[in-house]
Amino acid sequence: MKIRLDRVVKTFNTFRAVKDVSLDIESGELVALLGPSGSGKTTILRMVAGLEYADGGHIYFGEQDATDIPVRDRGVGFVFQHYALFPHMTVAENIAFGMKVSKVKREKAEIASRVEDLLRLVRLEGLGGRFPAQISGGQRQRVALARALAVDPKVLLLDEPFGALDANVRRDLRRWLREIHDELGITTLFVTHDQEEALDLADRVVILNEGQIVQQGTPEQVCRDPKSAFVTRFLGDANRLSAEVRGGIAYAGGASIAAGDLADGAAELYARPGDLSWSQEGPGIAASITRVLDRPGGRRVITITTDGDHLEFDVEPELSVRAGQQGYVSLRRAQVFAV
Amino acid sequence: MSAIRTGRKPPRVGDNPLFRGLLIGIVLIVGAILVLAPLILIGFQAFSDGWRVYASTLVHPDTRHAILLTVITALIAVPINTIFGIAAAWAITKFDFPGRRFLLVLIEIPFSISPIVAGVAYLFVYGLQGLFGPVLDTYEIKILFALPGIILASMFVTAPFVARELIPLMQAQGRDLEEAATSLGASGWRTFLTVTLPNIKWALLYGVVLCNARVMGEFGAVSVVSGNIRGQTNTLPLHIELLYHDYQAAGAFASASILAILAVITIIAKVALERQGAGRVPRPALVTQVAVASETKP
């Protein structure tokens, strides 16, 4: 089911949570709404679900205007951040709930066999008789997904689906959700504030800030070509340097890099830790090492430039570096934005 | 040896054995004098003239009528206040609306107001010289000095009991469960019956038990509006007072023992319900800012 948001507006009291958001989600696509807290991403999700009503604009499901269809009849599967499993029902009863209350009457046996299928799909065979309090957080999340899928939703909506889980479980569930999505082909929209999660999981990432979409595209597009300083900063660690653009080249300290078609004048330059390198001789930005952090995957060096900017970057673990060393930082890649 | 003892530190900060013993001792003694002794005394006094007098007091027509009236009052007032309590708790915890905090305070008023003030207020509203008195008189509707007055006064006093048990719990549970049920296609009524109610049932029962105990034991407000007509508008607490003023101490204590037994049953039910509820609290209270901070748990 294709979803289309057309200039959707939502205001809470006087706070404009969502400002004129238009968005197209293709049928079968897996899309992430990514943004810091307060960016309106959850509000958008809840409006698509029908848990909040839009103050302005329209939401279309396929060709149908779904803006005023109540949540009950909208045919969406919603997975809550804290699962919202019914604590007084077993796992199987939780999954069967949607089918039991449905207007479409089903036989008891039919419901039971569908619950079994869903338990198998979310790899929880044999746990149908447990109560939510008796299973782990990751298992609860999978029950919540099975419950949402049980009503054959046209659209699957997930609010911070892995927010309350620890890092290892998160990574496993992420891969698994992707597999389920590919298997069922259901249009899926999920909200997250975790960049890694959005980039790992989604076909397309929609980045929001202060109630507006600031950029959208495939993970590759948003990572390689961020359109603003905000997107660059938000997507991951970045070193910021003040720079000056002259004739299409940005100069920062002793380093320079192509600035595309940016006009001459003051600019800011962002470089990822992996985009900087360290050498004893120039050219580059003169700096001295303040700290060396050893990590399983490599070695991170924190330096301070002569201008007082802090720069962080990664080096090979074999490279001999120590605090107090003097040297030069050179730029391999960077994003330059006008100030 | 005393040097070693004084040098020893208590196992935890504030866990001084002397202080602990003293505090526990004081609480036990005061509790025994204030609470336990009078209750035991009721038991003794009720049987002071023997079983026969105790039994004959209880089967006396006035006593029987008082018990009947008390039960009827409870049977009407408690269900109404239960429904009111659920509605109020639902409104306050699941909706945002202007005046939400005001409603919360309004529900609490009967707790802080003297019941006798409530009784007098009803006199002013429904009494012959009162606001609606003349109108009611024309249509020969009797509210004061009759069952409706007694029920109204009892309901006023016990209005907060159910709501106050439910509000903190429903606030902690939030709206997620209801939203989940609705998104799965359940109607509002079905959501209430199959999702909300099972998760609040222990707190609800507890509120009902407390409400019932208070309705049956209410004296102040009821005594103003009932008129204390023996065998007609006398509830059990009023009956006890009348007996006592008639120097029928044994009879008064016998009737009082019924209320005391009710109290004991209430406490047993309370403990049992709390134990049942304890295993089912789904999440710790996340939202408590509107919770009644000044409340003292009965």
Instruction: Identify all chain A residues contacting B283, using CB atoms and an 8 Å cutoff.
Output: 82
A80/B195 touch (CB, cutoff 8 Å), yes or no: no
Same domain, A184 and A284: no
CA of B175: which chain A residue's CA is closest?
A84
Average pLDDT value for residue range B56-75: 90
Whether A86 and chain B come into contact, CB under 8 Å, resolves to yes
B179/A71 touch (CB, cutoff 8 Å), yes or no: yes
Min Cα distance B229 → chain A (Å) is 49
Average pLDDT value for residue range A55-59: 94
Same domain, A145 and A19: yes
Instruction: Identify all chain B residues contacting A50, using CB atoms and an 8 Å cutoff.
Output: 183
Best to test chain B binding among A82, A101, A111, A114 (most B CBs inside 10 Å): A101
What CATH number is associated with residue A254? Answer: 2.40.50.140
Closest to B231 in 3D by CA, of B69, B74, B71, B119: B69
Whether A147 and chain B come into contact, CB under 8 Å, resolves to yes
Same domain, A136 and A250: no
Q: Report the greatest alpha carbon distance in chain A.
A: 78
Q: How many CB pairs below 8 A link A and B?
A: 63
Instruction: Identify all chain A residues contacting B187, using CB atoms and an 8 Å cutoff.
Output: 72, 101
B180/A78 touch (CB, cutoff 8 Å), yes or no: yes
Domain containing A24 equals 3-231
Rounded (5°) CA angle B117-B156-B273: 125
CA of B198: which chain A residue's CA is closest?
A88
Q: Starting from the edge strand earliest in sequence, which strands make up the sheet with A3-12, in order?
A: A15-25, A3-12, A56-61, A64-65
Q: What's the CA gap between B188 and B178, in Å, rounded?
A: 8
The dihedral over CA atoms of A245, A250, A255, A258, expressed in degrees to the nearest 10, equals -150
- CA distances for A125 relative to A117, A169, B15, angstroms: 9, 19, 51
Same domain, A225 and A271: no
A84/B179 touch (CB, cutoff 8 Å), yes or no: yes
User: Where is the domain boundary, A231, A256, A283?
Assistant: A231
Same domain, A293 and A264: yes
- CA distances for A41 relative to A33, A209, A325, B222, angstroms: 6, 9, 45, 56
Res B1 pLDDT > 70:
no
Q: Which two tokens stand for residue B282?
A: 């789904």
DSSP state of A83: B
B176/A80 touch (CB, cutoff 8 Å), yes or no: yes
Question: Is the bond preceding A273 in cis, omega lying within 30 degrees of 0?
Answer: no
Q: What's the CA gap between B166 and B162, in Å, rounded?
A: 6
Q: Which of A11-25, A137-151, B202-216, B277-291 has the lowest mean pLDDT?
A: B277-291
Cα within 13 Å of Cα(A37), Cβ side: 2
Same domain, A99 and A81: yes
Same domain, A180 and A268: no
pLDDT the model gives residue A133: 92
> Amino acid letter at A183?
E
Best to test chain A binding among B100, B175, B178, B184 (most A CBs inside 10 Å): B184
Task: Tell me which residue in B179, B184, B199 faces A87 most closely, judged by beta carbons.
Answer: B199
Average pLDDT value for residue range A250-273: 88
Same domain, A216 and A255: no
- Are A303 and A287 within 8 A, CB to CB? yes
The rounded Cα B273 to chain-centroid distance in angstroms is: 15
Average pLDDT value for residue range A251-255: 85
* Maximum mean pLDDT: which of B155-159, B228-232, B275-279: B155-159
Q: Starting from the edge strand earliest in sequence, which strands make up the sheet with A326-331, in order?
A: A276-279, A326-331, A285-295, A298-305, A310-315
Res B141 pLDDT > 60:
yes
HEC string for chain B:
CHHHHHHCCCCCCCCCHHHHHHHHHHHHHHHHHHHHHHHHHHHHHHCCCHHHHHHHHHHCHHHHHHHHHHHHHHHHHHHHHHHHHHHHHHHHHHCCCCCHHHHHHHHHHHHHCCHHHHHHHHHHHHCCCCCCHHHHHHCCCCCCCCHHHHHHHHHHHHCHHHHHHHHHHHHHHCCHHHHHHHHCCCCHHHHHHHHHHHHHHHHHHHHHHHHHHHHHHCCHHHHHHHCCCCCCCCCHHHHHHHHHHCCCHHHHHHHHHHHHHHHHHHHHHHHHHHHHHHCCCCCCCCCCCCCCCCCCCC
Residue A254 banded pLDDT, cuts 50, 70, 90: confident
Q: What's the CA gap between A258 and A274, in Å, rounded?
A: 18
Q: What's the CA gap between A33 and B139, in Å, rounded?
A: 66
- Are B184 and A51 within 8 A, CB to CB? no
Residue B56 banded pLDDT, cuts 50, 70, 90: confident
Residue A9 backbone dihedrals phi, psi, to 5 degrees: -130, 140
Would you list the DSSP string of A294-307? EETTEEEEEEEETT
Closest to A145 in 3D by CA, of A157, A127, A131: A157
Q: What's the CA gap between A161 and A180, in Å, rounded?
A: 14
pLDDT the model gives residue B173: 87
Of all residues in chain A, the percent with pLDDT exceeding 70 is 100
Which residues, numbered 152 to 181 in chain A, qualify as contacts with chain B under a Cβ-Cβ cut-off of 8 Å?
none
pLDDT the model gives residue B8: 62
DSSP state of A211: T
Q: Report the greatest alpha carbon distance in chain B.
A: 89
CA of A156: which chain B residue's CA is closest?
B183
- CA distances for B132 relative to B121, B123, B139, angstroms: 12, 10, 11
Res B295 pLDDT > 60:
no
Residue B86 banded pLDDT, cuts 50, 70, 90: very high
Give the model confidence (pLDDT) of A274-294 as tens digits: 899 898 887 889 999 999 999
Residue B10 banded pLDDT, cuts 50, 70, 90: low
Q: What's the CA gap between A169 and A159, in Å, rounded?
A: 17
Burial of A25-57, coded b for 16+ CB within 10 Å and e otherwise, reads: beeebbbbbbbeeebbbbbbbbbbbbbbebeeb
Average pLDDT value for residue range B176-202: 93
- Are A312 and A237 within 8 A, CB to CB? yes
Would you list the DSSP string of A111-151? HHHHHHHHHHHTT-TT-TTS-GGGS-HHHHHHHHHHHHHTT
Residue A196 parent element (H or E): helix A195-201
Helix (H, G, I), strand (E, B) or coil at A309: coil
Instruction: Identify all chain B residues contacting A97, using CB atoms and an 8 Å cutoff.
Output: 181, 184, 186, 194
Q: What's the CA gap between A207 and A106, in Å, rounded?
A: 41
Residue A199 banded pLDDT, cuts 50, 70, 90: very high
The CA-to-CA distance between both ends of chain A, in Å, stands at 41
Min Cα distance A82 → chain B (Å) is 8
Res B277 pLDDT > 70:
no
Same domain, A132 and A224: yes
Q: What's the CA gap between A232 and A270, in Å, rounded?
A: 7
CA of B176: which chain A residue's CA is closest?
A84
The burial class, CB within 10 Å (0-12 / 13-18 / 19+), for B61 is exposed
Q: Which of A178-182, A252-256, B156-160, B213-217 has the lowest mean pLDDT?
A: A252-256
Res B283 pLDDT > 50:
no
Average pLDDT value for residue range A225-251: 92
Q: What's the CA gap between A75 and A48, in Å, rounded?
A: 11
Task: Tell me which residue in B183, B199, B283 faces A88 most closely, judged by beta carbons.
Answer: B199
Q: What's the CA gap between A322 and A306, in Å, rounded?
A: 18
Task: Tell me which residue in A73, A87, A101 faces B282 most closely, judged by beta carbons.
Answer: A87
User: How many domains does chain A divide into?
Assistant: 2
Res B72 pLDDT > 70:
yes
Q: What's the CA gap between A47 and A39, in Å, rounded?
A: 14
Q: What's the CA gap between A256 and A241, in Å, rounded?
A: 11
Same domain, A111 and A226: yes
Same domain, A19 and A82: yes
Q: Which of A180-189, A327-336, B255-264 has the lowest mean pLDDT?
A: B255-264
Q: Positive or negative, the Cα torsion across B235, B237, B238, B241?
A: positive
Same domain, A254 and A170: no
- Are B221 and B116 within 8 A, CB to CB? yes
Q: What's the CA gap between B43 and B33, in Å, rounded?
A: 15
How many CB atoms within 10 Å of residue A202?
23
Question: What integer best gives the mean pLDDT of chain B?
Answer: 84
Give the model confidence (pLDDT) of B29-42 as tens digits: 999 999 899 888 88
User: Where is the domain boundary, A207, A231, A255?
Assistant: A231
Q: Which of B22-31, B114-123, B150-159 has the lowest mean pLDDT?
A: B114-123
Best to test chain A binding among B177, B183, B194 (most A CBs inside 10 Å): B183
Q: Which two tokens stand for residue A147?
A: 């419950």
Res B280 pLDDT > 80:
no
Give the model confidence (pLDDT) of A96-135 as tens digits: 999 999 888 889 999 999 999 999 999 999 999 999 999 9
Q: What's the CA gap between A173 and A79, in Å, rounded?
A: 14
Question: What integer best gives the mean pLDDT of chain A?
Answer: 92
Instruction: Identify all chain B residues contacting A133, using CB atoms and an 8 Å cutoff.
Output: 282
In sequence order, what are the residues at sequence separation of 6 or more whose Cβ sits closer than 8 angstroms to the Cβ of residue A197? A32, A162, A170, A174
Helix (H, G, I), strand (E, B) or coil at A71: helix
Min Cα distance A318 → chain B (Å) is 49
Average pLDDT value for residue range A40-60: 94
CA of B186: which chain A residue's CA is closest?
A101
User: Where is the domain boundary, A212, A231, A250?
Assistant: A231
pLDDT the model gives residue B288: 36
Res A204 pLDDT > 60:
yes
A86/B182 touch (CB, cutoff 8 Å), yes or no: no
User: Which ipTM score applies to this complex?
Assistant: 0.85
What CATH number is associated with residue A91? Answer: 3.40.50.300
